[in-house]
């Protein structure tokens, strides 16, 4: 079985690449999917359909275009990794976690100790909490390849 | 038909009470449900089953006890109102929004203009965005009682 | 058992009232629900949340507010009656029919003979096609009350 | 991931071919499916099982044969593109939109500005509204291939 | 809890009445629902919407009207009792059994020993096989009222 | 797309082979699946697990082993063809039809005119009624291969 | 809201009564349901339909009659309490836990510390682990009645 | 069709290997999946994410990591084989059986005669009960390969 792993959350550090490289180094039977991680392209996704004056509707239009991709990938994944970084609101990551929970999609959170308390509801529905990308890779190796 | 409305999010302002009073003043056919909003009681919900040394597990245990209530109320509601205030991470509110979205539960967000951008994914799956509790009451009146 | 019957479609004739009166005259165990049928109120439903400049977004906002009511009533109904009149596009009625079909909600169409051909896909998923409100009342009587 | 895109609606212009050519020119990882678009063949699909005297039943029989194909393709698609042209009732396109909405299948509408108002309910459940096939191709490129 | 019990199958003996009387005598917390059991009314259910020349379409139209009732009652029941008598094809009873099985609705079959072999697939998905209405009443008593 | 077609019902004529040959001659993108059609092997499927004294339990055990295959194939098919022949009770075929109907699996019935009336409920949920295997092949060609 | 709580597992101690009395003393908005807890009646439930020679089939028949009740109550409950005592295999309690987990029914386990390790998979899907009936009552009070 | 068979339960005998060898010898179109069967690795699965002091939480963390694998494999299997051996509580095997039952996943139990009575609820939802791995192989051959 080949596993599909959706990567959700923070786009300002290289955690995705660390995961991809780690899984590749161990030759894991894993394919990664993700939202568009180019911040500007993502914010302007709706502009492809015509520009908007109003900031709310520009965001709205872009978010829905992006959701075509994210909802499809979440529904097709076997596991999601949901990353919370040090900065920004990151409500989209928590939204993805709730979305996974309701669909019965299993997810692992990836975050530092200092946000344990505000993430308690998100962690309560997770299958695991990892502190580093390397730990996630170890879990993926165990889950997909142990005997 | 009597409508059940779940109130999710911020617990540090009186928006819940404003909604309840507003709906009551208009005599709307609406019943409100909510998570436990006493912050300390909520954080200590798991202590009823024995105390924990480790902060992560204390939070984990309490969150799961709280989730018995929140998941049940979300699954039984007709609409959810999800409130984002000015302070704190409020990832649980975004988590509830994602949970509602995946279940097909309709929700209305309630927040100020200054968080439009970080809430764009949450708003993209909402049925409406209100800025004040009074607006939510108007929408509830229209939805439940207009001819 | 009390049956809930959702009335979808045309708002420019009195077919809803004919159905309600007919069912009442026969004392049927039936409750009717419906979208808001006041055309102006419906078009302006979103204005309760602030006015819009752009016609597309005004329509969008109002449609979503209206959908809180229509989706909830469709999901709670036992049968839907979907009426196509002589005028207007009435894409919302066809949309409701498709929505019902995919949910497994049973529906009856109500329309004249001259639109049989363009409605063939809508009728193909219906449980019955009626030409008059009186026929719908007879079917409701049979279905809910025959021995 | 290869994406399956269902093309629903108008059969009297070449928008399907424009989409297919556009996606092909950009080498997108996309496969298109569609209803039978030969008008006469579609109207006579039921005749393969014996001819009918009554127009209603001829249409009924053909529509159900066609629905074997359309329901199967809709359930297997990742996204639907739903096109409304300038002519005809096109209730089948609105029906497909409602069907997609209830299944949670994401769809994009493709139509001119002059039908914004009658399509407001259909657009309210869509992920995007495009005015030209070229815009749809751009969205498909972004959604399937951006980084 | 009050249990709703759907009675499917044979309409040419008084087994339904025996069940109703038996449950009533024991004062069981049970409500019975059923298809229309007046053979002629049932065959002519579609005639309410206009008469048909073709026998196939007359049957088709009536069956769909009847299905509004039977599908609704099956989806609302807690248990179904499916009765196979000595005469006729009774494919509708076997159809109801398959329908229940796929929905996860629990059912009990009621039939004589001489049809064990042809009913083996129907019995394989049943929760119990009873030979007499009195046995069904005993099972209902046990299931709804034992301590 | 390759279509999977489940063949249910009569095992005493060669209709399955006619369908397979017809589809093969036209090179249709279709794969056929089926229950075990060797009557004796099917009746004794449970004997592989030890013999039974009681006829009811022998049938029960065999039917459940057979159901491992039939339920799996039905859940994996795109369309089912359900054949009713001239002889025997064939309740398993009607059971499969009801099972398909409740799952939303599309099916075509294949039977002679003389059983229209007893099959009316089964036909009412079917997408088409064919009288000959050749007609089924034509429908499969149209559905899978027309433009 | 009135909560329905299903009580599963051990039948050789009075934990059910302690829960019922505790909830009653606190006047909680809770209704309890349960399997038949009379061991002999439960083992002989199938005998109502005729006696069996073979022990496997006697157990099989009785278990299915009992499952009419247990499956119905589990599907109708808001929460399940699953009790593991000191004696017997109690595979039915673990089966109920798995059944709840897959349905998304929330459950609380009730067991001593000495079976933590063998119950780790059952506890991993639970919302809480209680050691005494009094703790369960406290959790029910918090979940149903806290502000 | 290639069948995926999930192997659940006892890890202290070589029944898995017997099944794999038996299926391989007969060249069956079957792929086997399983939980991690190395007892120590399984108990310590959570240690990859940091060690725990408290035995309950160590077990909890490991069980959830293991559940990423087991839930994914159960949801992707066509059939499960659930083995109960002579020793240990094996509540995880009964949990898997209940999980399969609620999902509609078909399963076969594999156990000796002396545990018929305590396994009666687990067997009541099974499609078959086998006493030896060789019998399971025979059933797999029949189900996947008979004509």
| F34-89 residue pLDDT tens | 999 999 999 999 999 999 999 999 999 999 999 999 999 999 999 999 999 988 89
- C52: nearest Cα among B128, G5, G38, F3: B128
Two structure tokens written together for B1: 């038909």
- H80: nearest Cα among H63, H61, H56, H104: H104
Predicted confidence at residue E119, as pLDDT, reads 98
Could you report the per-residue pLDDT of B90-135, keeping only the tens digit for each? 999 999 999 999 999 999 999 999 999 999 999 999 999 999 999 9
Nearest residue of chain F to residue G57 (CA atoms): F57
Q: Is the ipTM of this complex over 0.90?
A: yes
Predicted confidence at residue E129, as pLDDT, reads 98
CB contact under 8 A, E1 and G33: yes
**Chain G touching partners, 3 or more CB pairs below 8 A:** B, E, F, H
Predicted confidence at residue A146, as pLDDT, reads 87
Predicted confidence at residue E86, as pLDDT, reads 86
User: Best residue in C3, C30, C106 to probe E by mutation, most E CBs within 10 Å?
Assistant: C106
Quick one: CA torsion of G129, G133, G134, G139, rounded to 10 degrees?
40
Euclidean distance between the first and final Cα of chain D, in Å? 14
Tally of residues, chain D = 147
Tally of residues, chain G = 147
Write the DSSP symbol of residue E113. G
Task: Yes or no: say if F100 and F107 are a contact pair by the CB < 8 Å rule.
Answer: yes
Pairing of strands D30-34, C128-130: unpaired
Q: How far is E107 from chain D (nearest CA, A)?
A: 28
Could you report the per-residue pLDDT of C31-86, keeping only the tens digit for each? 999 999 999 999 999 999 999 999 999 999 999 999 999 999 999 999 999 999 98
Nearest residue of chain B to residue C58 (CA atoms): B128
Task: Yes or no: say if G55 and G44 are a contact pair by the CB < 8 Å rule.
Answer: no
CB contact under 8 A, H91 and G90: yes
- A138: nearest Cα among H56, H41, H32, G124: H41
Q: Using the Cα atoms of residue C46, residue C48, residue C50 and residue C55 in order, give the sign of their dihedral.
A: positive
Q: How far is D93 from chain C (nearest CA, A)?
A: 8
* Concatenated DSSP letters of C91-123: HHHHHHHHHHHHHT-EEEEE--GGGTTTTHHHH
CB contact under 8 A, F72 and H3: yes
User: Best residue in C139, C140, C141, C145 to probe E by mutation, most E CBs within 10 Å?
Assistant: C139
CB contact under 8 A, B49 and G106: no
- What's the pLDDT band for A130 if we cut at 50, 70, 90? very high
Two structure tokens written together for D17: 């071919």
Two structure tokens written together for G104: 């998304």
* Spacing of C-alpha C25 from chain mean position: 21
User: Best residue in D3, D143, D145, D147 to probe A by mutation, most A CBs within 10 Å?
Assistant: D143
Q: Using the Cα atoms of residue B52, residue B58, residue B64 and residue B66 in order, give the sign of their dihedral.
A: positive
Buried b (16+ CB within 10 A) or exposed e, A12-45: eeebbeebbebbeeeebebebbbbbeeeebbbbb
Residues of chain F found within 8 Å of residue D69, distances taken between Cβ atoms: 142-144
pTM to 2 decimal places: 0.98
Please report, for residues B8, B30, B122, B127, B130, the alpha-carbon distance to residue B110 in angstroms, rounded to integers and kept in the order given: 10, 18, 11, 11, 5
Residues F47 and F66: their CA atoms lie apart, in Å, by 12
Q: How far is C113 from chain D (nearest CA, A)?
A: 9
Give the closest of G56, G59, G122 to H91, CB-based: G122
Predicted confidence at residue E26, as pLDDT, reads 97
Residues E93 and H5: their CA atoms lie apart, in Å, by 34
CB contact under 8 A, F95 and E121: yes
Instruction: Give every residue of chain G whose pLDDT is below 50, as ranges.
Output: none
Predicted confidence at residue E103, as pLDDT, reads 97
- What's the pLDDT band for E146 if we cut at 50, 70, 90? confident
What mean pLDDT value characterizes chain D? Answer: 97
Q: How far is D71 from chain F (nearest CA, A)?
A: 9
Write the DSSP symbol of residue G8. E
CB contact under 8 A, A128 and H49: yes
- B135: nearest Cα among C66, C49, C43: C49
Task: Yes or no: say if C79 and C108 are a contact pair by the CB < 8 Å rule.
Answer: yes
Q: Mark out chain B residues that contact chain A at CB-CB < 8 A.
A: 55-56, 59-60, 62-64, 66-67, 84, 88-103, 115-125, 129
Predicted confidence at residue B119, as pLDDT, reads 98
Residues of chain E found within 8 Å of residue D53, distances taken between Cβ atoms: 53-54
Two structure tokens written together for C58: 């005004």
CB contact under 8 A, G41 and E142: yes
Residues of chain G found within 8 Å of residue B35, distances taken between Cβ atoms: none
- Evaluate if residue A60 carries a pLDDT over 90: yes
Residues of chain F found within 8 Å of residue E73, distances taken between Cβ atoms: none
What mean pLDDT value characterizes chain A? Answer: 97
Residues of chain F found within 8 Å of residue H127, distances taken between Cβ atoms: 64-65, 67-68
Q: Cβ atoms within 10 A of the Cβ of F134, count?
A: 13
CB contact under 8 A, D65 and F143: yes
β-strand partners of F9: F83
Residues of chain B found within 8 Å of residue G1, distances taken between Cβ atoms: 33, 73, 76
Q: Average of pLDDT values for E15-37?
A: 98
CB contact under 8 A, G95 and H121: yes
Number of H helices, E strands in chain H: 6, 5
Q: Average of pLDDT values for H16-42?
A: 97
Task: Yes or no: say if G26 and E131 are a contact pair by the CB < 8 Å rule.
Answer: no
Predicted confidence at residue D23, as pLDDT, reads 98
Task: Yes or no: say if A101 and A125 are a contact pair by the CB < 8 Å rule.
Answer: yes
Residues D39 and D12: their CA atoms lie apart, in Å, by 9
Q: How far is E114 from chain C (nearest CA, A)?
A: 30
CB contact under 8 A, E55 and F103: no
Task: Yes or no: say if E127 and F70 are a contact pair by the CB < 8 Å rule.
Answer: no
Q: Average of pLDDT values for E39-62?
A: 97
Q: How far is A80 from chain C (nearest CA, A)?
A: 28
CB contact under 8 A, F94 and E99: no
Task: Yes or no: say if C38 and C112 are a contact pair by the CB < 8 Å rule.
Answer: no
- What's the pLDDT band for C131 if we cut at 50, 70, 90? very high
Backbone dihedral region of G90: left (phi > 0), alpha (psi from -120 to 50 degrees) or beta? left
Give the closest of A78, A127, A131 to H65, CB-based: A127
- F61: nearest Cα among H15, G54, E103: G54
Q: Mark out chain A residues that contact chain B at CB-CB < 8 A.
A: 55-56, 59-60, 62-64, 66-67, 84, 88-103, 115-125, 129
CB contact under 8 A, E49 and C139: yes
Q: How far is B128 from chain G (nearest CA, A)?
A: 27
Two structure tokens written together for G101: 């987990």
Percent of chain E with pLDDT over 90: 95
CA angle D107, D111, D116 (to 5 degrees): 95
User: Best residue in B77, B141, B143 to probe C by mutation, most C CBs within 10 Å?
Assistant: B143
Residues D92 and B1: their CA atoms lie apart, in Å, by 32
Euclidean distance between the first and final Cα of chain G, in Å? 14
CB contact under 8 A, F57 and G57: yes
CB contact under 8 A, E129 and G33: no
What mean pLDDT value characterizes chain C? Answer: 97
Q: Average of pLDDT values for D6-21?
A: 96
CB contact under 8 A, D95 and C117: no
Q: What is residue H15's three-state secondary structure?
A: helix
Residues C40 and C54: their CA atoms lie apart, in Å, by 17
Task: Yes or no: say if G6 and G73 are a contact pair by the CB < 8 Å rule.
Answer: yes
If residue F7 lies in a helix (H) or strand (E), which one and from where to where? strand F3-9
* Concatenated DSSP letters of D64-110: HHHHHHHHHHHHH-SEEEEE--SSS--HHHHHHHHHHHHHT-EEEEE
Question: What radius of gyration, in Å, describes the C-alpha atoms of chain B?
Answer: 16
Predicted confidence at residue F2, as pLDDT, reads 95
Write the DSSP symbol of residue A123. H
Residues C90 and E100: their CA atoms lie apart, in Å, by 36
Q: Mark out chain E residues that contact chain D at CB-CB < 8 A.
A: 52-54, 57
Give the closest of G61, G65, G67 to E142, CB-based: G65
Quick one: CA torsion of G60, G63, G65, G70, rounded to 10 degrees?
-150
Residues G62 and E33: their CA atoms lie apart, in Å, by 26
Predicted confidence at residue C147, as pLDDT, reads 86
Burial of G30 (0-12, 13-18, 19+ CB in 10 A): buried
Residues C104 and F104: their CA atoms lie apart, in Å, by 9
- Evaluate if residue E147 carries a pLDDT over 90: no
Residues A130 and H61: their CA atoms lie apart, in Å, by 11
β-strand partners of C41: none
Q: Cβ atoms within 10 A of the Cβ of F40, count?
A: 7
Predicted confidence at residue H147, as pLDDT, reads 86
Residues H92 and G20: their CA atoms lie apart, in Å, by 29
Predicted confidence at residue H84, as pLDDT, reads 98
Predicted confidence at residue D147, as pLDDT, reads 86
Cβ contacts below 8 Å, chain B against chain H, sum to 9
């Amino acid at each position: 079985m080949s596993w599909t792993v959706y990567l959700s959350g923070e786009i300002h550090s290289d955690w995705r690449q660390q995961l991809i490289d780690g899984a590749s180094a161990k030759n894991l039977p894993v394919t990664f999917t993700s939202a568009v991680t180019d911040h500007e392209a993502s914010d302007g996704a709706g502009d492809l359909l015509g520009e908007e004056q109003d900031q709310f509707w520009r965001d709205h239009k872009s978010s829905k275009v992006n959701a075509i991709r994210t909802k499809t990938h979440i529904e097709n994944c076997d596991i999601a990794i949901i990353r919370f970084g040090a900065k920004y609101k990151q409500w989209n990551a928590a939204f993805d976690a709730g979305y996974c929970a309701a669909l019965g999609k299993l997810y692992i959170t990836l975050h530092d100790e200092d946000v344990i308390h505000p993430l308690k509801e998100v962690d309560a529905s997770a299958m695991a909490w990892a502190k580093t990308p390397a730990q996630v890779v170890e879990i993926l190796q165990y889950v997909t390849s142990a005997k």
